[in-house]
Amino acid sequence: MNDLERFKAVVRFEKPDYVPIFGFPGAPGMSRGCMEKTHDRLVATGMPSHVGAVGNLITGVRDVESWYRYWGTTGPVSCEINLARGVRGFREKRRLEGDFEIIESESGALTRQVIDNDITYSMPEFVVYPVRDRASWEFWRERLTPAGAMPPDEMDRECRRYDARQRPLVVNVGGAYGFLRGLMGPEKLSLTFFDDPELIHDMMDWRLERTRRYAFPLLARLRPEVVHMGEDLCYNHGMLLSPEQFRRFCGGYYAAVCEAAGASGAELTTVDTDGNVMEFAGVAASYGVNGLFPCEVKAGNDLFALRERHPRTVFFGWLEKEVVNEGNERLIEPEILSKVPSLLEKGGYFPNGDHGIQPLVTFENLCRFMTLLHEVTGNPEGEFPRVDVPARR
């Protein structure tokens, strides 16, 4: 079987020759590389320097193939076609202020972040968000509304590079709540749900119209395996908005995306959200979402319970990322062995870390983690040195 065939087998709750260690961009787990400082740490503790997949927030991950080969992992092909043309955008000014970089946008947004944040990924402080009221929304909308679209014949030529794919193709159509939160911030957005619901409806109408015009044609042409939305609409106790608010403001977007995904023949319609998804899983499933990740451990997620409630939803992740950090090696075996074998038995599960690798990782610990995870998934791939673990004794 190739990567595409294995992926389809898992999402169809069938038995592949082995279950791949599969990671999505945005929540790669141990599958798709790491940030630059984390990569430096791995090399310093023993990983060969030729193993690439160094990531940053500006250019994304590069040389992911060498990571796949060395660690025996895989991931999807991401559609990189942008149909929108003629977006004006905003000018930015950047300055240093002590240990921080200050970014001022023409939209009025003000962001404060650590220096070299693109290779560190410490969460920035969003001091002022782009949209504060209707006037700032209309200014933002005018600057971000495309002037036109890629011609159909050009789109077809661009799409041909994905026609003979050997891995699942994912088309990211963006999210609903995540779109609103990114523009207003969670506090202002929560108040605006009550104070100015018409503004929220206007924003979501624009969002859906843009997605219909510039994303849905790609779904129809490419017929991807995965249609994806990124949201981050949960925190450590549950959803950041009520299910009722979700249905009122975001439900139309989800219904349209899931309908288009179904019409394109997609195997999965997925949502990437941090936090506790125990309630959201049911809300999302009611629209047709059938894939969730990364199922963070510290947020209180329980995939055993979710599997019982949602027997046909595909889950990714749920292995605590910190077990590969220095001093945590004793946690690796219980984390994997207490979860992965029984979840694999029920099917529809891709085991992986519940987020990216952190700078405290050691090469030895990552080898131990990967050795055991390869054993329990039956995965023979990878060049990394195996270590002695209980499953091999």
- Give the confidence band of 339 by pLDDT, cuts at 50, 70, 90: very high
The rounded mean pLDDT for the chain is: 95
Q: What is the pLDDT of residue 58?
A: 61
The single residue listed with the structure tokens 């006037």 is 135
- Separation of alpha carbons 369 and 365, rounded Å: 6
For the segment 362-388, the average pLDDT, to the nearest whole number, is 97
pLDDT tens profile 33-72: 998 899 999 999 999 999 988 877 666 778 899 999 999 9
Q: How large a percentage of the chain has pLDDT more than 70? A: 98
Angle between helices 197-214 and 251-264 (to 10 degrees): 10
Q: What is the pLDDT of residue 365?
A: 98
Q: What is the pLDDT of residue 252?
A: 98
Q: What is the pLDDT of residue 26?
A: 84
pLDDT tens profile 122-132: 789 999 999 99
- Give the confidence band of 275 by pLDDT, cuts at 50, 70, 90: very high
- Separation of alpha carbons 234 and 241, rounded Å: 8
pLDDT of residue 108 exceeding 90: yes
Q: How far is CA 342 from the centre of its chain?
A: 25
For the segment 158-178, the average pLDDT, to the nearest whole number, is 97
Q: What is the pLDDT of residue 393?
A: 44
pLDDT of residue 93 exceeding 90: yes
